[in-house]
Amino acid sequence: MVENFNIKKFEPLNVSSKFAICGLPIRVDTYKSCSFQCLYCFSNCRKICEFDKGLQVGDVGSVERRLRKIFDNGNVSKNSFLDTLISDRITWHCGGMSDPFQHVEERLGITKRLIDVCNQYGVTILFSTKSDTVYGANIRPDMHAFQLSVSNISDNKNIEPNVPGIEKRISFFKELKREGFKVGIRIQPCIPNLSTLEIVKAFEGADNFTLEGLKLVPQNKEHKEKVLEATNLSQADFTQMGLLNLKPETRIKMYRPFVEYFEKHGIDYSLADNDMHHIGTNYCCCGDALIAKSTRFNNTAMCKIYGKEYAKEQIDEELFKSGVRDCKCNHLFTSNRQEGCVSVQDFYDKRFYRANSPFSPEFLLGDHIDPVCGAEGEEG
């Protein structure tokens, strides 16, 4: 039990500030910091031997109390974004910031405790992980699903020093499939000349594939330089989009063989880069097959329902139907408070027509850029 350890707890459950571009805005993390120590990870740059110094664990008790309040007592707090989404049975995403099945899970079992609570209340979870085991957790295939994160199949320890070997992860994938789980593969970060189509072939039979390009934090100079050196890239390969994103033409070239393969073989897929959410087969970039229920007011779903040029009135309708338009979201953004945004509806009202808003149709790549054919006028 975690009580036997002098470890600080944190509130594990929250609504992502990316709710306008993510179909799974309920995020739950069981750990802060990650011992896998992936070089490109934003949330952790510690050495594995120093991991315990910064380790925090999710307070599963607080999750249980909230679920009891909502489902046992029927008490959904007025204008609470989180309560409203939970009561609507939106699937939770576990592992967005820290791997739920990293090495310390064997010792502390925080993820296992979370799963037991969620099983009790019928809460479905999509687990994102690089692990090759779940350490005996009672994960039910009729409720939960997996998204395995894979950036390469060459066991590149320069960028993923403590991640289990690829053969172990392939065996884990096959084991999950035999047990009846839906399993997607998220090729993230997708790195030029390192993330190849061999990943898709190694995980044949996956229920979905998601591609998302490498990103760098521009303010973290040391981290940025280490990643560039390890990937043989330069800053000239990136463009500023909040974070440093690989240039669109670089990503299109990198994604083209994947998309051609997916289209040829009828495989469900998504492109998860903010400016490419209109490309793919899903309402949620993690993959519809993996999810019991996702939102419909995220831009991937809007593109799927209404087309790439969806209108403000259409997203207003989806907000109304979902019951979230009056929910408070000002706590998610400093800029919201500065602009007087309080509700979810306020957020969309003030941001929808801005070309730099990732959920605005104006932010999406133009039709002249196609994932299969490349830039306009270029032969595939």
| pLDDT reported for residue 220 | 81
Phi, psi values for residue 57, rounded to 5°: -125, 150
| 49 pLDDT above the threshold of 90 | no
| pLDDT reported for residue 198 | 97
| 269 pLDDT above the threshold of 60 | yes
The chain-wide mean pLDDT, for the chain, equals: 90
d(CA 81, CA 97): 20
- Residue 67 belongs to domain spanning: 2-304
Averaged over 20-37, what is the pLDDT? 93
| pLDDT reported for residue 5 | 53
Q: Residue 45: pLDDT band by 50, 70, 90 thresholds?
A: very low
| 158 pLDDT above the threshold of 70 | yes
| Residue 33 covered by a domain | yes
* Residue 291 and residue 126 in contact, taking contact as beta carbons nearer than 8 Å: yes
- Return the top range by mean pLDDT from 69-83, 148-162, 223-237, 330-344: 69-83
Least confident of 1-5, 37-41, 42-46, 341-345: 1-5
Averaged over 273-282, what is the pLDDT? 95
270 CB neighbour count, 10 Å cutoff: 27
Q: In this predicted model, what pLDDT tens digit does every residue of 95-108 receive, in sequence order?
A: 988 999 999 999 99
| Residue 321 covered by a domain | no
Torsion of CA 72, 77, 81, 86, to 10 degrees: 0
| 335 pLDDT above the threshold of 70 | no
Q: In this predicted model, what pLDDT tens digit does every residue of 98-145 receive, in sequence order?
A: 999 999 999 999 999 999 999 999 999 999 999 999 999 999 999 999
| pLDDT reported for residue 371 | 56
| Residue 284 covered by a domain | yes
Q: Residue 156: pLDDT band by 50, 70, 90 thresholds?
A: confident
| Residue 7 covered by a domain | yes
Kindly state the helix (H) or strand (E) to which residue 125 belongs, with its residue range: strand 125-129
| Residue 379 covered by a domain | no
CA-based nearest residue to 332, from 50, 94, 59, 22? 22
| 320 pLDDT above the threshold of 60 | yes
Averaged over 137-156, what is the pLDDT? 96
| 60 pLDDT above the threshold of 80 | yes
> Which pTM was predicted?
0.92
| pLDDT reported for residue 217 | 85
CA-based nearest residue to 109, from 11, 4, 15, 10? 4
Q: Which residue has 């998504």 as its token pair?
A: 270
The number of domains in the chain is: 1
Q: In this predicted model, what pLDDT tens digit does every residue of 164-212 receive, in sequence order?
A: 999 999 999 999 999 999 999 999 999 999 999 999 999 999 999 999 9
d(CA 301, CA 299): 5
380 CB neighbour count, 10 Å cutoff: 11
| pLDDT reported for residue 227 | 92
| Residue 358 covered by a domain | no
- Return the top range by mean pLDDT from 26-35, 45-54, 78-87: 78-87
| 32 pLDDT above the threshold of 70 | yes
Least confident of 11-15, 214-218, 286-290: 214-218
| Residue 325 covered by a domain | no
Domain containing residue 145: CATH number? 3.80.30.30
| Residue 373 covered by a domain | no
